[in-house]
Amino acid sequence: MALQITWIAHGATAAVRRSAFPGDEPLEDKARAKAAELAEALGRADQVLVAPERRARETADALGLTGTTDGALRDCDHGSWAGRSLAELQAEAPEALAAWLTDPAANPHGGESIADLIRRVAAWCDSPERGEGRVLALTHPAVMRAALIHALGASPTTYWRIDVAPLSRLILSRQGASWRLQALEKLAP
């Protein structure tokens, strides 16, 4: 039997709306309602795993899912930039922000680089713990981008070319060592 991982991005938050690096924040009420409407569209899963942040847990609750918290599905560590907007950083540290947006190995905020994030997610995907069956992973757009880059064997420089909206779904499957992209879609308008 193969492994299929259905990744779901958490719903929108205030940080998403203001183009900011998120902290551990709640979902917007509207996002919670949208998630509740999608519950039946997810299909069955043998295992449900949820990132530890509040926005991921609240999305799982809104979808009616009970899952196991998995720290490896956590969002990218944005270090000192957590809670700060892109506009603020562009005004205060334009060179550091430019480095972050162009060099996957850069981590001017003292947190996790994009390259580090991709390695972490790749290790999670390829871990023997994943086994077989259907896994539903409720996580973050950054983690989903990293998973897609890993599955396709794409360069880390493509990270910023992938748009994953709140409440999007990514379906990846693996037979043996080869990953396949089955779907990437926005579930809610």
Model confidence pLDDT, tens digit, residues 144-163:
999 999 999 999 999 999 99
How many Å apart are CA 56 and CA 80, to the nearest integer? 21
Model confidence pLDDT, tens digit, residues 44-56:
899 999 999 999 9
Domains present along the chain, CATH in parentheses: 3-186 (3.40.50.1240)
Mean pLDDT (whole number) for 24-47: 90
How many Å apart are CA 124 and CA 127, to the nearest integer? 5
- pLDDT over 70, % of the chain: 99
How many Å apart are CA 15 and CA 7, to the nearest integer? 21
74 pLDDT higher than 90: yes
121 pLDDT higher than 80: yes
Q: Which among 29, 137, 17 has a CA at the least distance from the CA of 74?
A: 137
pTM of the model: 0.95
How many Å apart are CA 158 and CA 101, to the nearest integer? 11
The three-state secondary structure class of 8 is strand
Residue 177 pLDDT: 84
Please state, rounded to an integer, the average pLDDT across all residues of the chain: 94
- pLDDT band of 189, cuts 50, 70, 90: confident
How many Å apart are CA 165 and CA 17, to the nearest integer? 11
